Amino acid sequence: MLPESYRLHHRADFSRTVRRGQRIGRRDVVVHVLTHGYDGVVDVDGRHDDPAGALVRVGGPRFGLIVSKAVGNAVIRHRVARRLRHMCGQMIPELPADTDIVIRALPGAADASAEELLRQLRGAVRKLGVGSAGAGPA
């Protein structure tokens, strides 16, 4: 389970991460990563637009998931989302606190094993220069 403090909730945060962040595609997922330049602070409303008047952010990296209908029916989409959320929880200690990550599941994610998805996520994050070097196989 991924605690609420580690989740992206606002559409603006998703859009900002996808548009301004770095992107890398893997076979079953596309990973978008945005590292903030002002060391993990957010506005009073929880957004990252203006570092002036910001509060210190409690928690660590934040994750957002995009699992479209192309992945499968509702049961399959929810299963993929649960698996990805669990993997995000495992990756929290490996990532800096000032990082937002959006993971877009591709149709192949429905059939991929949990180990394969985790390997793809860690490899993508590491290749973008965000994850810790000793986090496991790429």
Say if residue 58's pLDDT is above 80.
no
Structural domain of residue 52, as residue ranges?
4-127
Please state, in angstroms and rounded to a whole number, the distance separating the CA atoms of residues 101 and 97. 11
Say if residue 27's pLDDT is above 80.
yes
Q: Which amino acid is at 68?
A: S
Taking CA atoms, 71 is separated from 118, 129, 137, in Å, by 17, 28, 26
Q: How far apart are the first and last CA of the chain?
A: 23
What local confidence, expressed as pLDDT, does residue 131 receive? 72
Q: What is the CATH number of the domain that holds 84?
A: 3.30.230.10
39 domain-assigned? yes
Mean pLDDT for 72-89 is 96
pTM: 0.80
What local confidence, expressed as pLDDT, does residue 2 receive? 87
Say if residue 3's pLDDT is above 90.
no
135 domain-assigned? no
The overall longest dimension of the chain from CA atoms, in Å, is 45
Confidence category of residue 136, pLDDT binned at 50, 70, 90: very low
42 domain-assigned? yes
67 domain-assigned? yes
Reduced to 3 states, what is the DSSP secondary structure of residue 42?
strand
132 domain-assigned? no
Say if residue 41's pLDDT is above 90.
no
133 domain-assigned? no
What local confidence, expressed as pLDDT, does residue 16 receive? 94
134 domain-assigned? no
Say if residue 125's pLDDT is above 80.
yes
Please state, in angstroms and rounded to a whole number, the distance separating the CA atoms of residues 88 and 65. 10
Q: Which of 57-71, 82-96, 113-127 has the lowest mean pLDDT?
A: 57-71
96 domain-assigned? yes
Which one-letter DSSP state was computed for residue 130?
-
Contacts of 29 (CB under 8 A, 6+ apart): 84, 103, 104, 105, 106, 109, 117, 120, 121, 124
Mean pLDDT for 118-130 is 93
Nearest to 110 by CA among 138, 82, 88: 82
- Domain count along the chain: 1
What local confidence, expressed as pLDDT, does residue 37 receive? 64
Confidence category of residue 53, pLDDT binned at 50, 70, 90: very low
